[in-house]
């Protein structure tokens, strides 16, 4: 007897260093491709996963969420254990929940939180080379936090939108933009109802220049008004970026890791 179709949501953590991003691509190794292959082999059927966010090459995650339909009869709480032996060590299923059939990891998301790690010590740590952008010249964390403040709220963020992303309007509501210094490191944390292509990396590029004394809060306000990407500093490298958590409001608690 065929098992009924169900909808499962997975919370994932992964080191994105070795991959060409999350989304499946021709002639490239991606997280989606490996995850679908592993799940399909375990379930004995073709599996297509839908992610809350398509992280780019080199970007990491602690709280990525994916959903997929399946007739695999395994109890949801056993899925992480089954996946542990079928996935590479740098991709881990942290949690699995059975969700309503109309749940979709991307379209049901009401917000996301990203972090970006800066190593601001004179010499880089070899243990952080895959996970932080090393900026050796001293940065003023207070100036960076002040420059981030005008970004809070609902704005047209065209000045922080890279070419090549999905079309559509650039209005997003940023509810959190923090800079936390600790032991020579700077953790930048951003929460919003949605993110544009390279948005966090472009904001971090600006904050680093603010930390060097080259951008003030007034400059940021003017940059927002201009909607001109060419007036903003360069994009920060991918390796410091991590998807921390996806928010589904009261609908679903994915237990994403949040600073």
Catalytic positions, please?
56
User: Contact, 138 vs 203, CB < 8 A?
Assistant: no
Residues in contact with 158: Cβ distance below 8 Å, sequence separation at least 6, in sequence order: 170, 227, 228, 229
Residues in contact with 85: Cβ distance below 8 Å, sequence separation at least 6, in sequence order: none
**At which residue do the structure tokens 């971090």 appear?**
204
Say how far apart CA 22 and CA 58 lie, in whole Å. 9
DSSP class of residue 173 equals E
| DSSP SS3 for 112 | strand
User: Contact, 164 vs 57, CB < 8 A?
Assistant: no
Residues in contact with 170: Cβ distance below 8 Å, sequence separation at least 6, in sequence order: 156, 157, 158, 161, 196, 227
| DSSP SS3 for 170 | coil
Say how far apart CA 84 and CA 54 lie, in whole Å. 22
User: Contact, 56 vs 30, CB < 8 A?
Assistant: no
């Amino acid at each position: 007897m065929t098992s009924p179709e169900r909808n499962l949501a997975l919370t994932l953590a992964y080191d994105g260093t070795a991959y060409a991003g999350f989304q499946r691509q021709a002639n490239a190794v991606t997280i989606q491709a490996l995850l679908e292959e592993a799940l399909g082999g375990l379930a004995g059927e073709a599996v297509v996963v839908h992610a809350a966010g398509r992280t780019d090459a080199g970007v990491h995650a602690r709280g990525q969420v994916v959903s997929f339909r399946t007739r695999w009869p395994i109890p949801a709480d056993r899925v992480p254990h089954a996946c542990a032996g079928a996935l590479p060590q740098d991709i881990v299923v942290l949690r699995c929940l059975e969700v309503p059939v109309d749940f979709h990891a991307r379209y049901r998301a009401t917000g996301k939180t990203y972090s970006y790690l800066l190593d601001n010590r004179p010499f880089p740590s070899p243990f952080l080379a895959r996970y932080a952008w090393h900026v050796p010249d001293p940065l003023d964390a207070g100036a960076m936090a002040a420059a981030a403040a005008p970004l809070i709220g609902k704005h047209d963020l065209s000045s922080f939108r890279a070419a090549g992303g999905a079309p559509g309007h650039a209005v997003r509501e940023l509810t959190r933009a923090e800079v936390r210094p600790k032991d020579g490191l700077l953790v930048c944390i951003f929460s919003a109802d949605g993110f544009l292509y390279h948005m966090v990396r472009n904001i971090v590029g600006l904050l680093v220049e603010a930390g060097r004394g080259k951008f003030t809060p007034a400059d940021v306000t003017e940059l927002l008004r201009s909607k001109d990407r060419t007036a903003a500093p360069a994009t920060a490298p991918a390796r410091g970026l991590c998807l921390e958590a996806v928010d589904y409001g009261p609908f679903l608690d994915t237990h994403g890791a949040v600073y």
